[in-house]
Chain A
Amino acid sequence: MPVKGFAVYFELVLNIATTVSVLMLIALGLAIVFGLMNILNMAHGELVTVGAFTVSLVQVNGGSFWLGVVAAMAVGAALGVLLERGLIRFLYDRPMGVILVTWGVSLIIQQGLLLSFGPSPQIVYTPVEGSIEFFDSAYPRYRLVLIVAAFLTVAVTGLIMARTRFGLDLRTVIQNREVAEILGIDTRRVFMIAFAGSSALAALAGALVAPMTKIVPTMGAEYLAPSFFVVIVGGAGSLAGTVAGSTLIGGLRTVLDYQVPSTLSQALVLIAAVLVVRLRPRGLVPA
């Protein structure tokens, strides 16, 4: 019996870790464009969708899952460059314009995918089959891969921000765009690369969650609101905040899902998020 009880807790911890990982992956790109660059990108969710569709397409055409992941990132980055160069760069000082334009883009992507692929879900085969046994209970191996991949992605992003030449350029531009220009930093180029990078991260998130979710054109939209909660609750502009925010929102959601109906748990998580923002307006880990 004690072994069984332990197994239940272990499974709970793994489930929390999975939910947190998914949230973290999706919120990471948003933490950069919204948290750091202050761009309300309503199409962030659709970049996640595009990532998942790309993996599916690569697999259908005989490519491996991991090739699909790489392709998803490339497609995400390319879409990001297109969006930034084509639309967002004209609207940096018009936040309402950014919301409307990116919302429009999100609708175009959704409907475009619907027209091209139809409403039935796409299929992505998991690259890692089978389950792993923990104290008599089985846990899908792929979820462990996802957890590791999520934490690696956050760590690598953190290292790029803290240690690289581009990271310093971005931190400088975010703090003071005019001073960055005076210091010789091409701020337009930095914004473009950052936007492309965060779009690639969104597509990466979509690719990684693809094997365990229903891949339909509207899948990304469902992630948009929770991702914004994560960034706001965690603290806009801080990667540590994204981890903290994902842990709080994802952890609470998973634990509550065990106890109460899903709709109620969603509402309770939202109330918790409101409370956190009331008590810590700058988030759990302010920048």
Chain B
Amino acid sequence: MLSVETLNASYGTVPVLEDVSFALEPGEVVALLGRNGVGKTTLLRALMGLIPSREGKVHLDGTSIGSAPAHAIARLGMALVPQGRGILGKLSVADNIRAGTRAAGAREALSIDDAIAPFPMLKEKLAERAVTLSGGQQQQLAIARALVCRPKVMLLDEPSEGVQPNIVTEIGKLIRELSDRTKLAVLLVEQNIGLALATADRCLVMEKGRLVHAGPADEFRNDAVLKRYLAL
């Protein structure tokens, strides 16, 4: 569904991603692990087209995304739920989701009701300004907004950040269930190792802008492995 070959990216002259290669299959959830500042968020941003100076081959469902701008990549079926959620606080909850339908491209967008169906809490808040939502509700809104266009690949950056634990568990279950049901491929950046392992099929480990290890999620349930790659 998503194939990345020798992706390089830099901020000015400083390289931030070096020869990153991996692939995501439909219906697969992959967790991207690594310490702070190793380039996980940068990788998601580069895939989304938000870092202009990038090189390498990235194919989304067979189509090369080359040097396309972010909105074109979104229309091809890549959805990013950014760190900090990127909620448009001054717009209503419904308008946030409506704005999300712009990424539909050739696909047919879901109705707003269908998009928030997994999040009953949002239903009563549709007309309210998004800034009035709690952290967990904003995260749910960000995910609903990403899903409204039925993307093929979803990039999730720290969905558990600033969200209460019971909602974190719910979000994890939802990602798993969605991926199984709709064959959505998910790349998950997550500091909460419990959530990452409960959700993912595989894990990738990043160090200093490179992918240094890949393995099934079960491998990381071992303290020695965690210590070696993540210093946990």
- Chain A positions within 8 Å of B, measured between CB atoms, are 168-169, 171-172, 175-176, 178-187, 287
Contacts and interface: CB of A to CB of B under 8 A. Distances in A.
Given A181-B69, A183-B74, 4 more contacts: A182-B50, A183-B103, A184-B100, A287-B90
Where chain A touches its partner, the secondary structure class is helix
B88 A175 contact: yes
B91 A182 contact: no
B33 to A, nearest CB: 23
B102 A183 contact: yes
- Which residue among B72, B79, B99 has the maximum number of chain A CB atoms within 10 Å of its CB? B99
Interface string B84-117: 0010111100010011101111000000000000
Given A182-B48, A182-B74, A168 B99 contact: yes
B103 A184 contact: yes
B69 A184 contact: no
A287 B95 CA distance: 17
B89 A175 contact: yes
A178 B74 CA distance: 12
Contact of B102 (A176, A184, A287): A184
A175 B103 contact: no
A-B pairs, 3 with minimum CB distance: A184-B103, A181-B70, A184-B74
A132 B122 CA distance: 56
A181 B99 contact: no
B70 A168 contact: no
A168 B71 contact: no
Contacts of A183: 71, 74, 99-100, 102-103, 145
B74 A176 contact: no
B74 A175 contact: no
Nearest to B90: A175
B70 A172 contact: no
B201 to A, nearest CB: 25
Given A168-B99, A169-B99, A181 B50 contact: yes
B149 interface: yes
Given A172-B99, A184-B149, A179 B74 contact: no
Contact of A172 (B69, B79, B88, B105): B88
A169 B75 CA distance: 15
A171 B88 CA distance: 9
B144 interface: no
Interface in B98-157: 98-100, 102-105, 145, 149
B82 interface: yes
B187 interface: no
B196 interface: no
B88 A185 contact: no
A182 B105 contact: no
A175 B96 CA distance: 11
A168 B100 contact: no
B80 interface: yes
B86 A179 contact: yes
A212 B187 CA distance: 63
Contact of A184 (B50, B88, B105): B105
Interface string B181-213: 000000000000000000000000000000000
B91 A172 contact: yes
Contacts of B104: 184
Contact of A169 (B50, B72, B102): B102
A237 to B, nearest CB: 9
